[in-house]
Amino acid sequence: AQSVTQPDIHITVSEGASLELRCNYSYGATPYLFWYVQSPGQGLQLLLKYFSGDTLVQGIKGFEAEFKRSQSSFNLRKPSVHWSDAAEYFCAVGSNTGKLIFGQGTTLQVKP
Amino acid sequence: EAGVAQSPRYKIIEKRQSVAFWCNPISGHATLYWYQQILGQGPKLLIQFQNNGVVDDSQLPKDRFSAERLKGVDSTLKIQPAKLEDSAVYLCASSLGPDRGETQYFGPGTRLLVL
């Protein structure tokens, strides 16, 4: 069965510190993977996506993610977190019909 | 380019009442999705349209939920009668097509509270 697991429900980091959000997926074929961010009261915004090629993907707002097939992971990283990055982050895998299967999300809190 | 529009943004109803949500996708997007996001969970697909045809409604509680996409553009999602567990954010998304690598663009959502 296709699924996505985000092991960390809540993460707190200090402003300026580095960030890594974990994502593990289960998918039978080559996965299409996405990271979305959701700010309070808003819809989801795409940060980046992977479906082939270079396993290190660059996204918007200084985020990047690395696809590791051997670990079934697609972790999101940012070298220096800003207060405006506080939000909820969702990892998702694209199914054959196009629908997205989301993880439960990780809430990021940024300390000043 | 205008994004995905949804209305209303907020709705409070009592259980057993009915409610309808409206979505206007990005112009030219053939595929439209309705997701339900319960507090503390990731969004889950309710129904997917390709133009005005249904691609996937396997997770739609058909005894109380219905959706349509007349003329392959706007869509409405209806709940009748509502239950307490329907309290959630209902997100509409659209994409150019149904390919699994296609980017989906999300609207701001409708937050429903059922009392």
pLDDT of A95 strictly over 70: yes
By C-alpha distance, the chain A residue nearest B45 is A99
| Mean predicted confidence (pLDDT) in A45-65 | 94
Shortest distance, CA B18 to any CA of chain A (angstroms): 23
Contact A110, A13 (CB under 8 A): yes
| Straight-line distance from the first to the last Cα atom of chain A, in angstroms, rounded to the nearest whole number | 41
Would an 8 Å CB–CB cutoff place B41 in contact with chain A? yes
Report the chain B residue with the minimal C-alpha distance to residue A50: B101
Residues of chain B found within 8 Å of residue A53, distances taken between Cβ atoms: none
pLDDT value at residue B33: 97
Sorted by sequence, the CB contacts under 8 Å of residue B83 that are 6+ apart come out as B15, B64, B114
Report d(CA B2, CA B54) in Å as an integer.
25
Please give the average per-residue pLDDT across B46-74, as a whole number: 94
Residue B6's Cα: distance from chain center in Å? 9
**Chain A nearest CA to B89, separation (Å):** 10
Q: How many CB atoms lie within 10 A of CB B28?
A: 9
CA distances from B48 to A31, A38, A80, A97, B44 (A): 20, 21, 38, 9, 11
Q: Is B58 at the interface with chain A, CB within 8 A?
A: no
> Shortest CB distance from A98 goes to which of B41, B102, B107?
B102
Distance (Å) from the C-alpha of residue B108 to the closest C-alpha of chain A? 4
pLDDT of residue B71: 86
Q: What is the mean pLDDT of residues B60-73?
A: 93
The pLDDT value given to residue A98: 87
pLDDT tens for each residue of A10-42: 999 999 999 999 999 998 778 899 999 999 878
The answer, yes or no, to whether residue B37 has pLDDT greater than 80, is yes
pLDDT mean across residues, chain B: 94
Q: Is the pLDDT of residue B1 over 70?
A: no
Question: Is there a contact between A87 and A36 (Cβ–Cβ < 8 Å)?
Answer: no
B48 to chain A, any CB pair closer than 8 A? The answer is: yes
pLDDT for the residue numbered B99: 83
Q: Which residues contact A11 (CB under 8 A, 6 or more apart)?
A: A19, A21, A106, A107, A108, A109
CA distance B106 to chain A (A): 6
Tokens of B70: 């007349």
Poorest-pLDDT segment among A29-33, A46-50, A71-75, A86-90: A29-33
Closest CB to A49 among B33, B40, B103: B103
Question: What are the C-alpha distances in Å from B95 to residues A50, B18, B85?
Answer: 17, 28, 28
- Cβ contact A98–B98 (<8 Å): yes
Q: How confident is the model over B10-21, as pLDDT tens digits?
A: 999 999 999 999
Residue A77: the pLDDT is 98
Cα–Cα dist B41/A108, whole Å: 15
Residue in A41, A45, A94 nearest the CB of B100: A94
pLDDT of A52 reads 83
